[in-house]
Amino acid sequence: MSTKLFGEPVQRREDPRLLTGQGRYVDDLGAGALEVAFVRSPHAHARIRDIDVSDALDVEGLVAIYTWEDLPTLLAQPLPLLIPHPALTHGRTAYPLARDVVRHVGEPVVMVVARDRYLAEDVCALIQVDYELLKPVVGVEEAAQSAQLVHEDVPDNVGAHLIQEVPSADGLDARELIETAPHTLTFRLDIERSASMPLEGRGVYARWDADDRSLRVYSSTQTSTSVRMAIAAKLGLPLPKVEVIAPDVGGGFGVKIVHPWPEEVLVPWAAMLLGHEVKWTEDRREHFVSSAHERAQVQFVRVGFDDDGRVLGLDVNILHDHGAYTPYGIIVPIITSTQLLGPYKIGAYRVEFSSIYTNTVQVTPYRGAGRPQGVFCMERTMDHIAEYLGADRTAVREINFIQPDEFPYDQGLIFQDGRPLIYDSGDYPESLRLLKELIGWDGFPALKAQAAAEGRRIGLGIGCYVEGTGVGPYEGGHVQITSDGRVHVSTGLTSQGQGHETVFAQIAAAELGVPMERVSVVTGDTRRFGYAVGTFASRAAVMSGNAIALACRKVREKALRIAAEALEADPRDLEIIDGEVRVVGSPGASIPLATVAVLSNPLRYAFDSETARATQFAGASSFDRPPVEAGEEPGLEGRDYYSPIRSTFASGMHAAIVETDSLTAEIRILRYAVVHDCGNLINPMIVEGQIHGGVAQGVGGALYERMVYDDHGQLLNASFMDFLMPYATEIPSIETAHLETPSPLNPLGIKGAGEAGVIPGSAVIASAIEDAEGIRIDKMPISPSELFDLRRAATG
Ligand code: MCN
């Protein structure tokens, strides 16, 4: 492979389109479609006694009103539980429209279809739902002790309970080792609820072709292939009669991987039933109360360690707030418990979690997916050990690091993909060295003393993580070179802003030896590629990147074979440069890939795109066209799949310097440094952009963002007026250094990068505030008023 494009900071080719308003999002489509609005539950827990639509029926422009009772049998079932797990003994999912009980504010109860959204909303306001109020269960600790049940048949509100244990090399368990350790610490950590907040909410637009009995659905989804399967199954249609397309998607951050959302099956169903285009666009309040949240965990930690800070035993007990339903299984607490150990090898580990139902919005993965909570746990542990021993925080980390010569390193756990959690490669001591250099770790005490002399409080924090990325089972790529020499690449997974059009074109151009301008990329369109898993778990680069590279290699081989015949050369003597197949060392002997594409098809036509005329090539008459040989396929195209034996593990370390105002307790980030290792970089500029976006979300999670529920299960801050997201002004410029330890598991040696930036945010900021203030920070996010209260409590 030519390395010219692979690894280059190529500008994102999608940006001119997206930044100048040329993007095509779901709501840009379907002018003239009927529009949908939902009556959603205003109560956190209630039984539906009656739904009275009589006042709504006379509204001019109303087309249809549907409740659960109107749904056909397949649609009237609960939505699928996507990732079952033996520990999830009481998995529960919602009905597309509530059947008899609503379990969180925002649950859809009635669907209204009208001429436009305004009318649909007016109709919703006239529908009377009679509710019998039930006592809501709010707060994970309250739920774990409450006699009140979210689901009548789920005792103690416990959906899942799982213990994983990794004994020490000599067979001792974590609790034994903690009991006998020279030092022990016990503490509690809290992380509040937050959520993905993509600029574009969810949205669905469906067209039914009654003659063809086929559906075309546009959805703002992270997985068009799975939405397609769900629609076909739920609406009783053959798969080939359903097409699902993810057009431009304005961010997903995890929430759009859930499938099908109720709206994704209800809107196409209405389109079929009404024989008319139908669409629904989520509004912001709906996104707050009707999609999904994450984070929300309470963790009880007990750790035993020696005089040097070496961890001998770690015992973590996690209460995970799962909200009302578990459509995505227990992936989040599984990731927390298995990824928590980060770059460290510890004596023995025990982790236990209980996944608890509450009458709040359901919890599914949000960028980082359980890792920010795990890293908060492990990194707080490292800081607390250092504080106890009076040791440098980096020294305690270093002594626990897995060393470069210990890879592959088996953590002895089972990862989210059901496979052993084995780290493939990394160099944690070198990452730390780079980070300390970047942030000026060793010089910080002098800076701090100087600031103190000026009456200012500054603190330095650190956070390290390892992140399983590129989760299987597979992804595919298709590559076609047409007779104009253009290269058409498609892969089934979707894009939400990660820059896939650019990086996949870089890979294809580098593999095929063609200029990048000749390569076009399509993602998330089941018409072009029908098999895919989706975009989550920082997997697109590893999975589709490698699949596209493999497909390119097939096409390249075929091109060389055909060209060798035409040039009367040995394929081994050929190279492809600038879209031309050349005989190495004979500059005159060459043939353009465009011509090879013509030769690859027995028809041997070349279409001139300017005159729209077909030209018969190389004197081939209609009588002497060669046959398609056995084992051969016409066309210069190829398809391949990449399916890894297990995930690959990226890693990184962040450091931040914060200043806390000595009067107001306002918290300001002065510097933020990142060392990141995602194996070989396809595009360093894109990876940096991903890190910057992630860090911004990490800062949001550490200092601003939280879902505030009252005791009635009402979300009090369900708008951007009250849910504080950081502006650009709150995000410091981010200093980044890359380390590249290639993954030995995949042909391109890459690991994922899409979530990395967000993962250690809370850990790093907590560490820095603690350093500035000398007060334990064990609960995030933290606001100035909370810091102020902590100060007061500390000084009595
Ligand atoms: N990349 C690279 N070299 C590597 C690894 C990655 O150049 N060694 C590039 C990739 O080619 C891709 C980007 O970095 O352009 C992220 O790659 P990857 O880590 O494979 O992540 P995915 O593409 O699978 O994206 C998913 C990931 C997740 S899980 C969330 S959540 C997330 C994220 O990416 N949501 C995002 N980044 C987002 N960025 C935007 N703008 N919007 C979202 O919704």
Bridge partners, residue 477, by sequence:
491, 640
Could you give the dihedral angle defined by the CA atoms of residues 281, 286, 291 and 293, in that order, rounded to the nearest 10 degrees?
140
Which residues in 249-347 belong to E strands, given as ranges? Answer: 278-281, 294-305, 311-323
Identity of the amino acid at 51:
I
d(CA 494, CA 230): 16
Please give the pLDDT value at position 623. 54
Angle between helices 262-274 and 224-235 (to 10 degrees): 50
Mutate to test the pocket of ligand 1, among 287, 690, 736, 739 (most ligand atoms within 8 A of CB): 690
Confidence tier at 43 by pLDDT (50, 70, 90): very high
Are 144 and 319 a contacting pair, CB within 8 Å?
yes
d(CA 66, CA 121): 14
* % of the chain with per-residue pLDDT over 90: 93
What is the phi/psi pair of residue 580, to 5°? Answer: -125, 135
Ligand 1 atom 34: the closest Cα is on which residue? Answer: 754
Among candidates 539, 525, 534, which has minimal Cα distance to 489? Answer: 525
Please work out whether the CB of residue 252 comes within 6 Å of at least one atom of ligand 1.
Answer: yes
d(CA 437, CA 733): 17
Confidence tier at 609 by pLDDT (50, 70, 90): low
CA of 538 to the centre of ligand 1 (A): 6
Which long-range contacts link 404-410 to residues 24+ away (Cβ below 8 Å)? 404/428, 404/429, 404/430, 406/345, 409/345
pLDDT tens-digit series, residues 212-266 = 999 999 999 999 999 999 999 999 999 999 999 999 999 999 999 999 999 999 9
CA of 500 to the centre of ligand 1 (A): 8
Please work out whether the CB of residue 394 comes within 6 Å of at least one atom of ligand 1.
Answer: no
Please work out whether the CB of residue 254 comes within 6 Å of at least one atom of ligand 1.
Answer: yes
Provide the total of helices (H) and of strands (E) in the chain, helices listed first. 18, 31
d(CA 528, CA 493): 11
CA of 158 to the centre of ligand 1 (A): 34
Are 487 and 559 a contacting pair, CB within 8 Å?
no
What is the phi/psi pair of residue 688, to 5°? Answer: -60, -40
The half-sphere exposure of 393 on its side-chain side, counting CA atoms within 13 A, is 26
Count of positions (residues) in the chain: 796
Among candidates 783, 44, 34, which has minimal Cα distance to 357? Answer: 44
Please give the pLDDT value at position 608. 61
d(CA 394, CA 382): 9
d(CA 154, CA 360): 16
Q: Domains in the chain and their CATH numbers?
A: 32-134+196-290 (3.90.1170.50), 297-471+645-794 (3.30.365.10), 473-642 (3.30.365.10)
Bridge partners, residue 217, by sequence:
206, 244
Neighbouring residues of 690: CB distance < 8 A, sequence distance ≥ 6 = 498, 753, 754, 756, 757
* % of the chain with per-residue pLDDT over 70: 97
Among candidates 375, 299, 369, which has minimal Cα distance to 342? Answer: 375
Per the omega criterion (within 30 degrees of 0), is the bond before 473 cis?
yes
Would you state the structure tokens that stand for residue 512, as one six-digit string? 């095929």
For the beta sheet containing 294-305, the strands, ordered from the edge strand earlier in sequence to the opposite edge, are 158-166, 348-357, 311-323, 294-305, 183-194, 779-780
Residue 630 burial class via C-beta count within 10 angstroms: exposed 0-12, middle 13-18, buried 19 and up: exposed
Q: CA torsion sign, 696 to 700 to 701 to 706?
A: negative
- Please identify which residue in the block is written with the tokens 């003393």: 449
Range 336-351 average pLDDT:
97
Checking if the pLDDT of 605 tops 80, the result is no
Checking if the pLDDT of 275 tops 50, the result is yes
Over the chain, what is the mean pLDDT?
95
CA of 253 to the centre of ligand 1 (A): 10
Confidence tier at 764 by pLDDT (50, 70, 90): very high
pLDDT tens-digit series, residues 555-593 = 999 999 999 999 999 999 999 999 999 999 987 899 999
The CB density around residue 559, as the number of other CB atoms within 10 Å, is 26
Range 366-378 average pLDDT:
97
Range 95-107 average pLDDT:
98
Please work out whether the CB of residue 347 comes within 6 Å of at least one atom of ligand 1.
Answer: no
Please work out whether the CB of residue 499 comes within 6 Å of at least one atom of ligand 1.
Answer: yes
Would you state the structure tokens that stand for residue 675, as one six-digit string? 């060392």
Please give the pLDDT value at position 606. 67
3-class SS at 412?
strand
Range 598-617 average pLDDT:
70
Alpha carbon distances (Å) from 264 to 116, 204, 233, 289, 785: 18, 6, 12, 17, 42
d(CA 142, CA 159): 15
The CA-based angle 777-459-313, given to 5 degrees, is 50
pLDDT tens-digit series, residues 639-658 = 999 999 999 999 999 999 99
The CA-based angle 575-579-580, given to 5 degrees, is 50
d(CA 129, CA 717): 24
CA of 137 to the centre of ligand 1 (A): 36
Per the omega criterion (within 30 degrees of 0), is the bond before 96 cis?
no
Would you state the structure tokens that stand for residue 234, as one six-digit string? 């739920």
Neighbouring residues of 220: CB distance < 8 A, sequence distance ≥ 6 = 25, 26, 200, 201, 202, 203, 204, 246, 247, 249, 250, 252, 256
CA of 700 to the centre of ligand 1 (A): 19
pLDDT tens-digit series, residues 310-328 = 999 999 999 999 999 999 9
